[in-house]
């Protein structure tokens, strides 16, 4: 599933191999595999070891025909000095009536079959983007989110308990805003473009590959505009993804 490629210090994710391994198990919303590092090589493990890396695949299988299946992969290893790496993917119809699965390269923003871990950017990128630096817009987004988070922490503390005088609805919205900012911080660190969401509240990966989107500055940046221009709350997507 993850193999050496480009040079001896890089390894790759291939959608063909990834989805072949996943679909052998049937259609699920979450898949998980472990991998081990051995002198730079990757070895997939049937059973997780204490210091093994983890590959998780999250998928949405939509009921509506007009919505494409979409999801993302997270890759992490205890020996890496990085946050978990996120890579978006989607299935698009092919001539045989099946699906061709593609990753979204975070630098070129093109849909590709294979992404490689680049030691320079610390991202999984397409071959064409190997050796290139991360986009400046990603760093601006990280700083912006971090600034929001620090302001919230300074004003309300760690939000483990509801601040005095705040009603339950306001406290819930504040927590959703904080979690959304944390989530978007992780996406930005992996170079994932600012999200465009489909009607299921999942990433519209094809739209994201064609056009960048600006986040609407509403209620601390917890909303996004989908391709139709409608406002959508990122918390809805977060809940559907089942993380955080």
DSSP for 210-221, written as a single string:
H---PPP-STTT
Alpha helices in the chain (DSSP H): 15-23, 136-156, 168-189, 205-210, 234-241
Query: What mean pLDDT comes out for the span 196-224?
Result: 66
158 and 82 in a single domain? The answer is no
142 and 222 in a single domain? The answer is yes
SS3 158: coil
Out of 77, 94, 129, pick the residue that ends a domain. 129
Query: What mean pLDDT comes out for the span 93-108?
Result: 90
Out of 78, 100, 129, pick the residue that ends a domain. 129
Choice among 43-57, 139-153, 155-169, 209-223 with the minimum mean pLDDT:
209-223
Contact of 42 with 76, CB cutoff 8 Å: no
- Angle of helix 234-241 relative to helix 168-189, nearest 10 degrees? 70
Task: Count up the domains in the chain and report the number.
Answer: 2
Residue 1 has pLDDT above 60, yes or no: no
Query: What mean pLDDT comes out for the span 10-31?
Result: 88
Choice among 42-46, 49-53, 101-105 with the minimum mean pLDDT:
42-46
Predicted pLDDT at 110: 93
Q: Which DSSP category does 128 fall into?
A: G
> Which among 28-42, 89-103, 211-225 has the top mean pLDDT?
89-103
79 and 140 in a single domain? The answer is no
Contact of 190 with 197, CB cutoff 8 Å: no
Query: What mean pLDDT comes out for the span 6-33?
Result: 83
């Amino acid at each position: 599933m993850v193999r050496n490629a480009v040079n001896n210090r890089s390894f790759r994710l291939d959608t063909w191999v990834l989805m072949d391994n996943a679909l052998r198990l049937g259609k699920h919303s979450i898949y998980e595999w472990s991998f081990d590092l051995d002198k730079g090589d990757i070895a997939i493990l049937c059973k997780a070891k204490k210091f093994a890396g983890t590959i998780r695949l999250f998928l949405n299988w939509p009921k509506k025909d007009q919505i494409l299946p979409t999801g993302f992969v997270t890759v992490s290893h205890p020996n890496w000095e990085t946050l978990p790496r996120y890579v978006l993917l989607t299935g698009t119809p092919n001539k045989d009536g099946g699906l061709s699965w593609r990753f979204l390269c975070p630098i070129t923003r093109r849909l590709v079959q294979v992404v490689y871990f680049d030691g320079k950017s610390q991202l999984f990128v397409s071959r064409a983007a190997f050796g290139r630096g991360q986009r400046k817009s990603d760093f601006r987004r990280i700083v912006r989110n971090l600034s929001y988070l620090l302001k919230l922490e300074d004003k309300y503390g760690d939000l483990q308990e509801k601040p005095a005088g705040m009603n339950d609805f306001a406290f819930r919205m504040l927590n959703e805003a904080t979690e959304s900012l944390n989530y978007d911080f992780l996406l930005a660190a992996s170079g994932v473009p600012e999200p465009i969401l489909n009607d299921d509240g999942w990433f519209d990966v094809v739209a994201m590959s064609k056009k960048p989107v600006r986040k609407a500055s509403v209620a601390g940046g917890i909303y996004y505009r989908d391709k139709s221009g409608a406002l959508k709350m990122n918390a809805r997507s977060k809940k559907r993804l089942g993380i955080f």
